Every structure is written in structure tokens, then in C-alpha cells.
């Protein structure tokens, strides 16, 4: 997760399996590089997989408050454990960014078994 200063935007074609159908805004050059990175490394841009109101998608606002972009992302190689990604606008943290929160759910017993098998 982090501030990538890249705009992933909308899914441009079906080969972009790392991007969901709910991106925000237009993709920029850094966004294209980030998408290429996620494709090469088997990652998913999880912010784009959850339908939210547009006002709940942007994570950064310009000083004048007019320009708003989604540039903070949650990425994973295990997209089935991410249940939701939210942008929290209710908190003033003294930054031009908003807090991004994700809900993760996994089977603890299954994960323990996998760890034990790897060690033996």
C-alpha cells in the first residue's frame, strides 16, 4: 500500500486483469507504469475492485480543493483476502491525502497449515 503518485484510472482493456472496473479518473504516465509493474509481479490494484461513490474514491486534493485524484493504493497478490477498500474522508489529518483503509479476511487455520508445510 502507499502513495504511488500515479493515477490508475479506468480499466483500458480486458488484458489488464490487475485492475477492476471501478477505477477513478484518467490514467496518467505514472499510472501506466504502475499497471505494468502490477501485471509483471502478479499484483492487483484493490481500490479498483470495489464500487464506491466517486466522492469516496479520491485520496488526494490539490491545495485549491478543485483537483482530486486517486493516487494512494492497496495492492496484493492475494486478492481473495481483501473484502473492502475504503477512503475515509471524515478525519482531518493535516495532509492533502485522505486515509485509505482495507478490510482483510483470511482463514487462520488454513494459513497456519501452509506455514507448517513449508517448514517441513
Higher pLDDT, 2 or 15: 15
Which residue is it, cell 486534493?
A: 61
Share of the chain above pLDDT 90, in %: 60
User: Is residue 72 exposed (0-12), middle (13-18) or buried (19+ Cβ within 10 Å)?
Assistant: buried
CB of 115 within 8 A of CB of 93? Answer: no
pLDDT of residue 120: 60
Number of domains in the chain: 1
Structural domain including 62 reads 2-119
Average pLDDT over residues 58-74: 90
Per-residue pLDDT tens over the stretch 17-65: 999 999 998 999 999 999 999 999 999 999 999 999 988 999 988 888 8
Report residue 76's pLDDT band, with 50, 70 and 90 as the boundaries.
Answer: very high
What sections of the chain are H helices per DSSP? 29-41, 108-119
pLDDT of residue 45: 96
Q: Using alpha carbons, list the distances in angstroms from residue 90 to 40, 86, 93, 98.
A: 36, 12, 10, 9
Amino acid at each position: 500500500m502507499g502513495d504511488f503518485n500515479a493515477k490508475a484510472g479506468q480499466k483500458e482493456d480486458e488484458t489488464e486483469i490487475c485492475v477492476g472496473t471501478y477505477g477513478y479518473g484518467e490514467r496518467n504516465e505514472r499510472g501506466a507504469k504502475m499497471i505494468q509493474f502490477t501485471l509483471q509481479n502478479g499484483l492487483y490494484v484493490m481500490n479498483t475492485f470495489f464500487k464506491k461513490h466517486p466522492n469516496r474514491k479520491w485520496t488526494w486534493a490539490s491545495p485549491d480543493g478543485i483537483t482530486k485524484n486517486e493516487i494512494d493504493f492497496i495492492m496484493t497478490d492475494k486478492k481473495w483476502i481483501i473484502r473492502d477498500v475504503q477512503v475515509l474522508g471524515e478525519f482531518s489529518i493535516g495532509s492533502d491525502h485522505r486515509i485509505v483503509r482495507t478490510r482483510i479476511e483470511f482463514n487462520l487455520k488454513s494459513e497456519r497449515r501452509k506455514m507448517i508445510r513449508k517448514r517441513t
